[in-house]
């Protein structure tokens, strides 16, 4: 598995920005077949930083409705990556 294709995009919201400032934790949307070890390896190789902890969460797609049509949005998998004190990622 190519480590560059494992990380899809960073998740930038008000809540994740607060996590960056306080906890030095970054949130990335990752592929569905990713696990903690592969995410750790991908972050360390791509950005050259030391990862302390990786937490994973699965987000179910929201119910969507447009007139009489309905369905669900896509399911997402996110990785919360905590870095060593003093390390930073330049993702903005």
Residue 91 in any domain: the answer is no
Residue 25 in any domain: the answer is yes
H/E element, 81: strand 76-83
Tally of structural domains, the chain: 1
Q: How far apart are CA 45 and CA 3, in angstroms?
A: 8
pLDDT of amino acid 1: 62
> What mean pLDDT is predicted for residues 3-30?
90
Residue 92 in any domain: the answer is no
Residue 50 in any domain: the answer is yes
Residue 88 in any domain: the answer is no
List the CATH number of the domain containing 25.
3.30.70.330
Residue 43 in any domain: the answer is yes
pTM of the model: 0.86
Residue 90 in any domain: the answer is no
pLDDT of amino acid 28: 95
Q: Which domain holds residue 30?
A: 3-83
């Amino acid at each position: 598995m190519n480590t560059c294709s494992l990380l899809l995009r960073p998740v930038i919201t008000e809540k994740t920005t607060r996590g960056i400032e306080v906890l030095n934790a970054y949130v990335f949307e990752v592929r569905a077949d990713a696990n903690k070890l592969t995410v750790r390896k991908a972050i360390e190789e791509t950005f050259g930083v030391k990862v302390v902890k990786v937490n994973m969460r699965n987000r179910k797609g929201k119910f969507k409705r447009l007139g009489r049509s309905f369905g669900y949005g896509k399911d997402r998998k996110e990785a919360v990556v905590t870095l060593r004190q003093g390390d930073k990622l330049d993702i903005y």
